A and B are shown apart, each in its own frame.
Chain A
């Protein structure tokens, strides 16, 4: 046992300097690995798309179309699964025909897939309050 002990002690003494250097280097390497990991995570996060459709584009388009035919009272929409799926707008149209024209203009817009106007909204002929659900088109914009 004593020879083993002497051998182990001697070997430990030989390795000591090398071990200290290796330990220091390994800490540096671990920091390098961490830096690379963080940079990779940031890059991955930045390239992750959260949907290309901008709310501001949709707002501008809806407000622009509405200003020609109706008065908007409210607009509400949320991002679902990283994309804008539908927009709920309420407002008042001077007449039933202007409201239908507004709905048709929305539907013709390539930004939107459809604009659902409940028939109940057409009961009045003048000063018609309305609520329209617009489905936003899935197609990417040019």
Chain B
């Protein structure tokens, strides 16, 4: 026969056991988390110490080559410089005395840090000037090349003219990749 007192003690012991288990489990979890954090920190510090000398050398090298790297980056186009680039090219065309309009701009996705920007221009003007414009496109201070040309000639005895399209392909640097 179980007395009332035994029942109370039994239930009390059960509640105590459950509470203690929960507290112990919570503590165990906490110690586990802190232990993982400690491992993470000690790994980060160990990595840092291991790489410190190498990175000090690298930092010195990167800092000493900053001017060269800055100059290097001026030879490739970025999206934010595209508008200025187009304006410059169109200004050059005006200076050459030819009529040039931008037909289309297409960004072709590539792997790595670069995409390709394909620009199609319509040109019309004196044959000699249009030829000069092609040469200017081919000697732009950017990583670019003329990828397609279609010209029609009007070879009058005086002032022959050319009209047609020039497709320019420019490498476009994507810094955020």
Contacts and interface: CB of A to CB of B under 8 A. Distances in A.
Interface bin, chain B: 35 or more
Contact of A25 (B48, B146, B175): B48
Interface string A32-43: 110111110111
Secondary structure type dominating chain B contacts: helix
Contacts of A36: 58, 62
Contacts, number: 139
Contacts of B131: 56, 59-60, 63
Interface stretch (B80-88, B96-104, B149-157): B149-157
A8 B34 contact: yes
Interface string B30-50: 110011011001101101110
Contacts of B55: 25, 29, 32
B58 A56 contact: no
A50 interface: yes
B34 A41 contact: no
A74 to B, nearest CB: 5
A35 B55 CA distance: 13
Contacts of A26: 44, 47-48
